[in-house]
Amino acid sequence: MAAPYLKTSDIAKALGVHVNTIRLYEESGYLPDIPRAKNGYRQYTTMHLEQARLVHLTLRWPYVGDKGLLFDLVKSVANGDFGMAMEMAYQYLAYVRVERTFAESAVEFLERWATGHFMDTPRQRVHIGEAARHLNVTVDMLRNWERNGLIDVPRDPENQYRLYGTAEFGRLRVIRTLVKSGYSLMAVLRMLLQFDAGKTENLRAALDVPREPDEYIDIIADRWLTSLVELEDRAQAIIRQIGKMIEMAHAK
C-alpha cells in the first residue's frame, strides 16, 4: 500500500514554521514539482519534506559570504542535481572555514599585542593623514574608531591636531585586524574596555560575550568566532541532509 501523501500543514508542523513559509518555498522554486490530487490539494511526499528541511536549514539567517551560492544549492537539489548541490555545500563549508581561520588569527594577533609585544618600532608622532596612509585605512575610519571610543588619540597642545605614535599604531593595528576579520565595533570596544581596565587575560572571551549580563547581542558580528563555529556545524549538517536525500533517491 502506498504511503499517504503529506499536507502543507504537515510539512509546516514538522519544520516548526507557518504554512505560508512552505508555500513561499514552492513559489520560489526551492521544492520539487508538487503533484495535485483531483480536488486540487497538494500531494507532498517524504522527499518534499526532506527538501523543505534542507531549505529551512540552508537559507535561514545568519550566513556568511554570497547567499546566492545557497540559493543555487537548494534549487539544484529541487531539480534533482544532487552532485552539484553537494559540490556547492562543500564550497560553502570551505568558505566558512577560511573565515574562521581569519577570526582565529585576528584573536592571536590581539593576544600578542595584549601581552606587551610591540607592533611597530619607535616612530615620531604623525598627524592623522600620514597615520591613515601608513595603516592603509581612510581618515574617516580613524575618526570613526576614535568617535566610538576604541582609541583616545593625544593632541598637539599648540594646535590640537591628533598625534599618532608607536602606542597608537599598535592599538590601531589590533582594531583594524579584528574589524577586517569580521568582529563588530561593539565587540572590539567591549574587549578594549576590559583591556584598559587592566584585565588583560581572556580577551578572547571578552570579544565573544556581552560585557554585562543584560547586554543584548543582536548581531552576528558581536559573537563572531562562536557564530563561525555554529555556521561550520550547520554547513556540515547541510552536507549530511543532502547525503540523506541522495540515499532516499537511490532507494526508490
Domain ranges of the chain: 1-60
The candidate with the shortest Cα–Cα distance to 139, out of 120, 107, 161, 156, is: 161
- Which cell numbers in the block locate residue 150? 576604541
Q: Which CATH architecture has domain 1-60?
A: Orthogonal Bundle (1.10)
Q: 192-229, pLDDT tens digit by residue?
A: 999 999 998 889 888 886 555 445 445 667 788 889 99
Predicted TM-score (pTM) of this structure: 0.84
Q: Is the peptide bond before 213 cis (omega within 30 degrees of 0)?
A: no
Q: 117-129, pLDDT tens digit by residue?
A: 888 888 789 999 9
Q: Which own/partner contact pairs does 124-133 have at CB distance under 8 Å and 24+ positions apart?
A: 124/165, 125/154, 125/163, 125/164, 125/165, 126/163, 126/164, 126/165, 127/161, 127/162, 127/163, 127/164, 128/153, 128/161, 128/162, 128/164, 130/164, 131/162, 131/164, 131/168, 131/169, 131/172
